[in-house]
Amino acid sequence: MKKKKLSILLLAVLAVGSLASCGKNPDPSSEVPPSSEKTSEKPSEITSEKPSEDSSEKPSVIEPIRVTSISLSVEKTALDVEQVTSYVVNVLPVDADDLSYIIHVENDKVLELDESAKTIKALAAGNSKVIATSTDGGFSDEVSITVTETRPPVLKIEGEKELSVAAGENLTLPVVSATDRDGTDLTSAIEVEDLAEPGTIVGNVFNAKIAGLHILSYYVETADGRYAEDEVKVNVVPAHPETFVTEGYTDPSVITTYGTFKENFAEGRRSPFYTLTDGNNASSLTGLSDAIEGNSLRIDANKTAGSAINAIFLNAFNEHFERGKAVTYYVSFDYKIITSSGGSNLKDFYVGLSWDGFDGLNNAFVKSSDEQGVVYHYEATFPAVTVPVAGNAYFRFFKLSGSSAEAVIVVDSFTIKTIETAQVTKVVPTANQLLAEGGFTWDWNENGSAATNSETVIIANLENEAARTEMEAASKFGVNALKLTNADSHVFEGLTKDNMVVGKKLVVDFDFYAVNGKGFVLIMMGEGGNPTLSADVTKTGNISHVHLEVTVLSGFYALNIYGAGNPAFEIYLSEMTAKLVEADPIPEDTTPNGHKVGDSWTITNRQWGNEVKAGVKTEAFDGYAPAIAEPKMGSAPTKFTWSGENTNMEWFQGSGRIENGAKYEITAVYYVESWTEGTRFMYNFDNNVFLDAGPTTAGFHESTITWEANRNVDFFSIYVPEANTGVLYLASITVTLIAL
């Protein structure tokens, strides 16, 4: 009987537990208590202790701890796509025997669970419930989550978004703030940029030099890559209104088809002609009072000096130049000098047309007499230019030499156009053709040639009626003429070191028409120097005939028609005949240029007049009495004043007087007022030969040196290599031939 009663008791206990687990939310108060049935027997399966003598004592039973509830909490119930939130599940009581649960999402297209990380990721816009259910008792809880498309941060601009201000004036910008979707302040992370001109915004203040539309871009980004952006537009008004009209002429590609391009920089840094390479940061755009009108290109000329790579290269036409074909380019623009020295420190400022590996066709356009603040207009023609098929080509600005004095200029209102050039067959005759009777003739029609800064033109098409009429009436002018322009060298391509035979006499004849009545200098380009040649010139009206005879020396390689001292250079050449004949025997006591021992030349004034250069200037005698106390100094020596280093001042051009292989005495008569100790006084021959000229102690000097010439000297210059702040009065330099 004892075992049977025990079994009944255990079954009753199990039945009560089974009832407690039925239903989703049972009432704990309705739970059936353990049986209180009394028994006088204690089953040995329950305890090993001996039954109590008291028959009323109950048996010992272990009760299970049941789950009573479950809760689900989620960090965020509103998510953007790709956003992640965490969740927490609490099963109570915490000491329940079975704390396990099942969690799932109602729509797995919207949400994704990561049970190991206890996170929920938003997959797509929509709504979904997250449900957690306890294993014990089946208690459950749920949370609804809404997913929207990604929400960027909010960027707020308080105030007007379209403003206007004068160039160079301060403008307080609108207050801008940013907040994230959860309210986090992102204002400190806002980035602002002026797309038209860097550096215009400091704090919340805007100040621009470039006139035109400035778009201020505001941008903020969160750590997870969401961003917002907005903009404020500021119209910057120039100090001087823009009047140069470019509408219809702003396409650089038109120069390929003989068209016209114009530029006024109204588009600021987006202007086509502002496509430039400026390695030394010498240029900028300005709409301030220093501009000519609207925006102008401002150039610190000194930063363009010292090396070809310091030039400002205007690359807008690189892809549009006619390649491998002769084309004439016309260029015009306005310029204004900003610095107080006026044109005196900018007279060696050039505009040029060039390409890779070529020194360029270059024109100095600023005049020494140009005044500060005055607007000048400049026009130039680059005739019959053949830009190579490959490589970079460009217009450029540069200064020949640097200076310690400021040299700032602005340029504006550009017109660039291409003009079709007469196409002729270029011929370089052989030496045998030049040696033949009658030589060789270039008529610029069937037989053409070229020179730098030149083009072949059809005489009948010339707009200059006076020039056209006179040339058509002249016997040596045919259908075409070779037009030479620009006050620079015109190196003739038809005569070379391959066809000019050393020792022979070169005889050249041609007529020319000079538009302004002025001529040129003939120079023979040589590897040992560039002697100026003597030619016979006879003139009838505006037509002049040139007859040149020169003995060909070793190293001669080209004839240069040089327009020195003729800024309005424009001449037209008739047919040109060149021939080689036997040279007259050179007497043993005579140089190739006909000079004999004892010939002497004294130069008492600078050949080109006084000039101001970087670090050195020459000027007329100022009356300083000690300088002329010695009679040999004469009454009006030239005053040299130094204020820099590596200075050079040309004194005279050799013109064939100093010849390779001959020996000379060179005597300088001068007075030193002051001089920097340790600084040399030297001669410079063509930037090739440098000789000590004499002492630099204070007082009068007559210094003579001897030199055996190793070149034909073209330019004879005064040179000081070191930094010097001295003053010297130069009375004369005498060159005497003393030996052959």
Kindly state the average pLDDT of the residues 365-389: 93
Q: Is the peptide bond before 174 cis (omega within 30 degrees of 0)?
A: no
> With contact defined as beta carbons under 8 Å apart, do 620 and 672 qualify?
no
How does the average pLDDT of the chain come out, rounded?
89
The band of 59, judged by pLDDT with boundaries at 50, 70 and 90, is low
**Structure confidence by residue, pLDDT tens digits, 111-125:** 999 999 999 999 999
Top-confidence range, 178-187, 448-457, 581-590, 726-735: 726-735
* Cβ(283)–Cβ(271) below 8 Å: no
For residue 520, what are its two tokens? 């040129």
Name which residue leads in pLDDT, 731 or 554.
731
322-359 per-position pLDDT tens digit: 999 889 999 999 999 999 999 989 999 999 999 999 98
pLDDT of residue 25: 42
Strand partners, 560: 491, 523
739-to-595, 658, 708 alpha-carbon distances in Å: 11, 12, 9
Contact 566, 518 (CB under 8 A): yes
pLDDT in tens, 129-144: 999 999 999 999 999 9
pLDDT class of 171 with cuts at 50, 70, 90: very high
Query: How far apart, in whole angstroms, are the C-alpha atoms of residue 571 and residue 482?
Result: 8
Flag whether pLDDT at 567 surpasses 80. no
Question: How does DSSP assign 14-47, residue by residue?
Answer: HHHHHHHTSSSS--GGGPPPPP----S---TTT-
* pLDDT score, position 182: 79
Which sign, positive or negative, has the C-alpha torsion 454, 456, 461, 465?
positive
Task: Tell me the β-bridge partners of 79.
Answer: 147
In this prediction, residues 50-59 reach a mean pLDDT of: 52
SS3 state at 729: strand
Residue 555's pLDDT band (cuts 50, 70, 90): confident
Residue 366 has pLDDT above 80, yes or no: yes
pLDDT score of 26: 40
Strands across the sheet with 212-221, in order? Answer: 162-166, 227-237, 212-221, 191-194
* Lowest mean per-residue pLDDT among 101-115, 120-134, 580-594: 580-594
Question: Residue 49 and residue 166: Cα distance in Å, rounded?
Answer: 107
Q: Report the DSSP beta bridge partners of residue 299.
A: 283, 409
What 610-613 contacts at long range (C-beta under 8 Å, 24+ apart), as own/partner pairs, is 610/638, 611/368, 611/649, 612/344, 612/345, 612/368, 613/401, 613/647, 613/648, 613/649
Mean pLDDT of 22-38: 39
pLDDT of residue 45: 39
Q: Tens of pLDDT along 227-239?
A: 999 999 999 999 9
Position of tokens 């050799």?
654
Q: How confident is the model at residue 58 (pLDDT cuts 50, 70, 90)?
A: low
Confidence bin at 33 (pLDDT 50/70/90): very low
| pLDDT band, very low/low/confident/very high, at 56 (cuts 50, 70, 90) | low
Domains of the chain in sequence order: 1-63 (no CATH), 69-148 (2.60.40.1080), 154-237 (2.60.40.10), 252-420 (2.60.120.260), 431-582 (2.60.120.260), 600-739 (2.60.120.260)
Task: Report whether pLDDT(312) > 80.
Answer: yes
Residue 287 has pLDDT above 80, yes or no: yes
Residue 680 has pLDDT above 90, yes or no: yes
| Cβ proximity of 361 and 447 under 8 Å | no
Phi, psi of 159 (to 5 degrees): 120, -170
* Residue 43 pLDDT greater than 70, yes or no: no
